[in-house]
Amino acid sequence: MRVVSGTCKGHPLKAVPGQTTRPTTDKIKEAIFNMIGPYFDGGVALDLFGGSGGLGIEALSRGMEKVIFVDRDAKAVQVIRQNIESCRLTSQAEVYRNDADRALKALIKRGMAFDLVLLDPPYKQQQLVSLMSVLDQYELLKENGIIMAEHAVDVVLPETVGRLMRRKHEEYGSTAVSIYEYE
């Protein structure tokens, strides 16, 4: 696992020990960023199921100004911090140990809004539609923002969630990627 492109290109990333996380492969990561970028001119992103931090770090490497990383697993949070530090991106990152619902409530209280939201929850615990509903309802996504949802191919997401519309959908083996934006 490594950073695919940008200022940290080629930098190796540690994985979370054990079987609790499923890191996004470099091939899928590259495909995701080709769908949503591939590069950014600033902006703030949310990596809601951070895992090793690979997706959020990729966003920083490709030009995002700041990323908020959230994961409920203590080992994952530790690995995210190590990966951010080794890529020298500490000043551009906030890392929190929290579950997704509580994290969104905290972000609502802070009045946050994001240019990019990365959703890559455990495949067995799909809550993508309810999370996107909260993102839409509480305007956590900026008007021109993008939501990237990574999920199992057998999970069928709706064309629309609130005001969000699915713009792109690609499948890579057992993994699917759906991109949502405002209509």
Q: Is the predicted pLDDT of residue 22 greater than 80, yes or no?
A: no
**Region 162-178 average pLDDT:** 96
Q: Can you read off the two tokens belonging to residue 21?
A: 């996380």
**What confidence score (pLDDT) does residue 21 get?**
73
In the chain, what are the domains? 26-182 (3.40.50.150)
- The whole-model pTM stands at 0.95
Task: Kindly write down the DSSP assignment for every residue of 70-138, as one continuous string.
Answer: EES-HHHHHHHHHHHHHTT-GGGEEEEE--HHHHHHHHHHTT--EEEEEE---GGG--HHHHHHHHHHT
Q: Is the predicted pLDDT of residue 125 greater than 70, yes or no?
A: no
